[in-house]
Amino acid sequence: MVDAISTRLLDSVPDPTDFPPQENAPGLRKLDSTFRCTICGEVFDAPVTTRCGHCFCSGCLRPALALKQECPTCRKSTNEMHIRPNYVMEEAIMCWGESRTYILELIKREKEAAEAVSKAKASQRSHKRKRSGSTSSVEMLDCAPGPSSPRTPRRRQHSPRKHKAVDLTTVPSSDVDEDELSSINLNPKPNQIVPCPLCSKTVAYKDLNTHIDRGCKDFSKEKASETWSKILSKPPNKQKGKQRCYRKHSDSDDEQPLPLASYATLKDRQLREMLGDHGLPTQGDRSLLEQRHQRWVVFYNTNLDRSLPNRKSKSALRQELKKWEETHFKVKKPVVQDAKEHVKTHKSEFSKLVSIARGSQPQITSTIPSSVSPQPMSPG
C-alpha cells in the first residue's frame, strides 16, 4: 500500500528522469536539470543569480540567505543586496516549458511507432529477433530541436525578426531557405517597407538613405512628437533616477524591493500597520504576524525579480500568501483563551460526549466535533 502511494506521488512530479537516459537522448536529462533550482528541484521561478554566478529561484534563495548569508552551492559569502534577476534564464525556461511537453510527446510517439513496427515485424517473421526500443529514440532525436541539431538554425530561431536584414548584408549562408531567397526583391518600390541593412529597423524604401545618413537614429513623426511631449511633460526627477540605478534592468519606476524587517524591535501595532499598508490581514498572534510579513516580503521581492511582463498583480500575490498561510497553519487548532467560558458555551456538546462515552458506543469517533478539545471532558 505504501508503495502504491509513493509511486502515485512520484508519477505526478515531473523531473529530469522523464527523459530517456544520456545514452539514448544525449543532453536532454542534463538540460532539464540545468533549468531546475537546486533548492526546490522545480524549473526556475523568477531566476536570480548570486555574485558567485549560481542561479536559484528568487523565492528559494531569499529565505536561505535570511538564515545564512552564503551561497547555498559554493558557500561564498553573499547577501540579499547581491541578488540580480536573470532575465535570459527566465526566457529560456519559458521556452523550455513549451518545448518540454513537445519533446516528450515526440519521444512517446516515436516509442509507440517503434513498438508497433517491432510488433508487426515479430508477427510477420516470428523467427527474426525483436528490435530493441532503445535505438529508436536516438533516431527520433535527429528530428527533435535538441542540442544535437546544427548551430545555424538555432541562431535563426533565436532572432527571427532580424534574420532577413542579416541576410541582405551578408552573403546568403547555406541555411537560407529557397523561398526566402526568392522573396528578396532587388528593386523595391519607393513605399515598400524594407529592413535597414545596418540596424535592421524596417523603413520605407524611399526613406532608407535618409535613415542611414542620420546614423539609423531617426524616428517616425508620431514617435518623435511622443518623445518630446514625454520629455516636456515630465521633468526628470533626480530622486527617481537615483533609485532606479539600483535596479536598472527593470523598467518600472516605483517598485522597490521591500527591506527585511527586524521584528524584535517592532511593536505589535507597528507590525500591524506594516501589514495594513500592503493590504494584508492584521489578525492573528505575534508569531503569525511576523511570519506573514516575512513571507510577504519574500513574495513581493520575488515578484520584482520577474521581468516586467511576467510580474503578478498585488492581489494575485495576496492570494498566494493566503494560500500559503492556509497550507502551513491549517493544522493548528484555535487556542482556548477562557477555559470557563469555553466549557459553558460547549456544555451541551460535552454532556453529549460524556453520555456517549459512558455508554461506550463504538461510533464515538464519528460524533466528536473536531473543534472540541478533550481536556474539559474530565470533570464531567
User: Applying CB under 8 A, which residues contact other proteins?
Assistant: 1-2, 5-6, 9-10, 12-13, 15, 17, 38-42, 60, 63-64, 67, 70, 72-73, 75, 327
**Alpha-carbon distance 116 to 284, whole Å?**
61
Q: Provide, rounded to whole angstroms, the least separation between the CB of residue 5 and other proteins.
A: 6
- What span, in angstroms and rounded, lies between the C-alpha atoms of 152 and 175? 7
> Closest approach of Cβ 303 to other proteins, in Å?
17
The nearer residue to other proteins, 36 or 306, going by C-beta atoms, is: 36
**Shortest spacing between CB 46 and other proteins, in angstroms:** 14
Identify the three-state secondary structure at position 85. strand
User: Is the Cβ of residue 229 or residue 319 nearer to other proteins in the bound state?
Assistant: 319
Q: Closer to other proteins at the Cβ: 6 or 135?
A: 6
Q: How far is the CB of 71 from other proteins (least distance, A)?
A: 9
Alpha carbons 213 and 189: distance in angstroms, whole number? 20
Stated as kind and residue range, the H or E segment containing 18 is: none
Residue 74 or residue 168: which is nearer to other proteins going by CB? Answer: 74
Rounded least distance, CB 352 to other proteins, Å: 32
CA distance linking residue 130 with residue 108, whole number of Å: 19
Closest CB 300 distance from other proteins, rounded Å? 18
Cβ pair 30, 269 in contact under 8 A = no
Closest distance between other proteins and the C-beta of residue 298, in Å? 12
Give me the torsion for CA of 137, 143, 146, 147, rounded to 10°: 100
Specify the residue, 60 or 107, whose C-beta has the smaller distance to other proteins. 60
**What DSSP letter does each residue of 167-225 carry, written as one string?**
HHHSPPPTTS-HHHHHH--SS--TT-EEE-TTT--EEEGGGHHHHHHTTT----HHHHH
Residue with Cβ nearer other proteins (33 or 250): 33
Where does residue 355 rank: exposed (0-12), middle (13-18), buried (19+ CB within 10 A)? exposed
Nearer Cβ to other proteins (27/188): 27
344 three-state secondary structure: helix
